Amino acid sequence: MQLLVTGGAGFIGSNYVRWLLANTDDHVVVLDALTYAGNLDNFRGIEGDPRFRFVHGDIRDRDAVRAAMEGCERVVHFAAETHVDRSITDPDSFVLTNCQGTNVVCDIARQLGAERVLHISTDEVYGSVEEGSSTEADLLVPRSPYSAAKAGSDLIALGYGTTYGLDVVVTRASNNYGPYQFPEKVIPLFVTNLLDGHQVPLYGDGLNVRDWLYVQDHCTGIDAALRRGAAGEIYNIGGGNEVPNRELTDRLIALCGRDESAIEYVADRPGHDRRYSVDCSKLRGLGWAPARDFEAGLAETVAWYRDQRWWWEPLKVRAAVAR
């Protein structure tokens, strides 16, 4: 099978491309605009694989999407603006990329007769969950420009199924961690700051809770939904590792050999959701389960960033990521 992977030069997308090339016989076309979070270095070591092809293009550009999608049976749509803090200061780009871009991808897929579009979303569309866990049938209550734009893109994609009969599947995942994550997100930001002897900025009281999913487990969940999921369905993907941000920070400090003086408490993010939690029983019904232990996965992630300065140091310099 030939797959188009939009946003495949980003964190999760590039890990999925690597997973596909290592575990399947599929051919992969990556379409990526190479904005600040897209990085061709994420393909180091696989760029010469004859089953891999990279196309530089924007998902809002119909001609670019059509050219990349020609000959692809299925589409895995990662491409999106994803950082909540950036969405607060620049909401326009999130709406344009996430909503308009998703509309273009689905419309071209419809025109070209793609077998399936798998739309990658986030648990943040459910909003803050005080008790229990979100199911796929729950009301969407996004609380930031980022999550609102993702919720909109979910509905656009699903609308193509209802209106045009396009085979669409949506996945909503919890917070990912692992190699090749752009160092503005909390784990790589904190790890790289700690490795460089800097402090880490912890929002508010540090008691906001997130569920952490190792990126390779996300990749296997995506693939289960792609190959075994039912058309028109939504599947949650979570790691089952709900941890307050302060506890996560303490774990990272210990792994990096620092102490709690490395913590800098900063003003909380506007509208900061208190807790996310997803019920993954629907995807587990397809035979999927996360395989990576959180403690081991976190240690492996810290070791990866410790050993891959060549990858993240230039990114922090170019993007002027806050320390």
Amino acid at position 70, single letter: E
DSSP per residue over 241-274, as a string?
Answer: -EEEHHHHHHHHHHHTT--GGGEEEEPPPTT---
The Cα–Cα gap between 82 and 95 comes to 11
Strand, coil or helix: 62: helix
Say whether 307 is catalytic.
Answer: no
- Residue written as token pair 């810290």: 302
Say whether 124 is catalytic.
Answer: yes
Residue 230 half-sphere exposure toward CB, CA atoms < 13 A:
6
Q: Residue 210: which of 186, 182, 183 has the closest Cα?
A: 186
Strand, coil or helix: 38: coil
* Distance spanning both ends of the chain, measured CA to CA: 44
Say whether 123 is catalytic.
Answer: yes
Determine whether 233 is exposed, middle or buried from the number of CB atoms within 10 Å of its CB (0-12, 13-18, 19+): middle
Q: Which helix (H) or strand (E) holds 27?
A: strand 27-32
Helical H runs in 258-319? 281-284, 294-307, 309-319
Q: Residue 87: which of 79, 96, 78 has the closest Cα?
A: 96
DSSP per residue over 173-215, as a string?
Answer: E-EEESTT--TTSHHHHHHHHHHTT--EEEETTS--EEEEEEH
Cβ neighbours around 262 below 10 Å, total: 18
The full length of the chain comes to 323
The active-site residue, picked from 124, 167, 223, 273, is 124
The active-site residue, picked from 16, 81, 136, 146, is 146
The active-site residue, picked from 32, 58, 81, 123, is 123
- Which positions are annotated as active-site residues? 123-124, 146
